[in-house]
Each structure stands twice: as structure tokens, then as C-alpha cells.
């Protein structure tokens, strides 16, 4: 009898354990079969990731339309320093390098005959100057320009017409004057190409 009772108890325990396992498994699957357990009704409504976040959050559509950052960008794009001053006349920028202008003998003669004041500068040697020169020319050899121009040519805005024998030294002298701040320098080449009268 004892053996029978023990067998009955074991069977009852197995049945109870089997029934207890079924009862714990049945509530786990969601009856709808479409949503996980973590997305229950109570957790869904007050969640921080609700529909109100994208509409009123800092990364919503309000920033590009009327946010303060967009106003700052507009002010930077329309800054007066971003565009050149239209009131400045062309060619007067401080960063524009000074240059001399090369003209021919005909143009130089026309400038001399115009009646406007000018300085006619011969940059050859004293011997060449004494032998033949254009009337009214003053002599400063090209290799003495840097040392003598400040004292002998005080007006750096004056019209200066330069010539030498063939054009090489006059170009060098013109470059030197421009580098010293003279702003109205014209090089018309050499006396060899001068078709008008000369004096001795």
C-alpha cells in the first residue's frame, strides 16, 4: 500500500507541475499578436518619444523657418564688409599696384604740345645728353634715379615723360620711379625712335 500511495503522490506532483507550467505560459503571448510586451497601453501614452516631441522639439521645423540661427545667418550674408564699397572709383583701391605706361614718340609729342605741365626726363649718360637730346629735357642718369629723384622731382603726381637711347634704361628708370611712389610716369622709349627735332 505504501508503494501505491507513493506512486500516486508522484503522479499528482507531476500533474500539478505540468498544470502550473501551462498557467504561467498562457498569459505571455499578446492576444492581438501584433505588438511586443514593452509597448503596453500604459507605457505608450506618457512616453517621451510621443508625437509631441517632433512638433515642438528643438530639431523641429520652427528652427529653419523663423529661429534665431536663421536670422544670424542672414545678417552675415548681407554684411557690408562682404562686398566692395561701390562709392570707391575704379582703380583707387589701395592694393592696386602702381605701374608706368609705355607710349610711342607720337603720343609723347602730343602730350608735350597739349599745354599741360610735364617733366621731360633724359636718363642716359652726361656724354650722350651733351651730344644730342630732346629740347627741354632734364638729365638724371637711370642709375642715379633712386638717389636724386626725391630732391629733384618732389612732386610725385607730376606728369613725367622718360626716354633714353633705345628704351631699355628708360624702362628701368620708370620702374624705379613707380617703386618710389610716383604715379604719373610715361616711358616713350629711345631717342633713336624720336622723329622730331633734337638739340645739342
Q: How far apart are the first and last CA of the chain?
A: 161
Q: Residue 83: what pLDDT?
A: 38
Q: What is the mean pLDDT of the segment spanning 130-148?
A: 96
CATH superfamily of 101-193: Rhodanese-like domain (3.40.250.10)
Q: Residue 78: what pLDDT?
A: 34
Q: Residue 111: what pLDDT?
A: 96
Q: Residue 81: what pLDDT?
A: 34
How are beta strands 101-102 and 138-139 bridged, if at all?
A: unpaired
Q: Residue 72: what pLDDT?
A: 38
Condensed to tens digits (0 to 9), the pLDDT of residues 159-192 reads 999 999 999 999 999 999 999 999 999 999 999 9
Lowest mean pLDDT: which of 1-10, 49-58, 114-123?
Answer: 49-58
Condensed to tens digits (0 to 9), the pLDDT of residues 24-77 reads 444 444 444 444 444 444 444 444 444 444 444 444 444 444 444 434 333 333
CA-to-CA distance for 50 and 116, rounded, in angstroms?
Answer: 85
Which pLDDT band holds residue 17 (cuts at 50, 70, 90)?
low
Domain boundaries, the chain: 101-193
Amino acid at each position: 500500500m505504501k508503494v501505491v500511495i507513493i506512486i500516486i503522490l508522484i503522479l499528482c506532483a507531476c500533474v500539478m507541475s505540468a498544470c502550473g507550467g501551462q498557467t504561467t505560459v498562457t498569459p505571455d503571448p499578446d492576444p492581438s499578436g501584433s505588438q511586443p510586451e514593452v509597448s503596453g497601453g500604459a507605457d505608450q501614452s506618457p512616453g517621451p518619444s510621443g508625437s509631441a516631441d517632433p512638433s515642438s522639439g528643438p530639431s523641429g521645423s520652427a528652427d529653419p523657418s523663423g529661429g534665431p540661427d536663421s536670422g544670424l545667418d542672414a545678417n552675415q550674408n548681407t554684411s557690408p564688409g562682404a562686398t566692395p564699397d561701390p562709392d570707391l572709383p575704379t582703380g583707387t583701391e589701395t592694393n592696386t599696384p602702381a605701374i608706368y605706361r609705355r607710349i610711342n614718340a607720337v603720343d609723347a609729342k602730343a602730350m608735350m604740345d597739349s599745354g599741360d605741365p610735364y617733366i621731360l626726363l633724359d636718363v642716359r649718360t652726361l656724354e650722350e645728353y651733351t651730344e644730342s637730346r630732346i629740347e627741354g629735357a632734364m638729365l638724371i642718369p637711370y642709375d642715379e634715379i633712386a638717389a636724386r629723384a626725391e630732391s629733384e622731382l618732389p612732386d610725385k603726381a607730376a606728369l613725367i615723360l622718360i626716354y633714353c637711347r633705345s628704351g631699355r634704361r628708360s624702362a628701368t628708370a620708370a620702374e624705379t620711379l613707380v617703386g618710389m611712389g610716383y604715379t604719373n610716369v610715361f616711358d616713350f622709349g629711345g631717342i633713336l625712335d624720336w622723329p622730331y627735332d633734337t638739340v645739342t
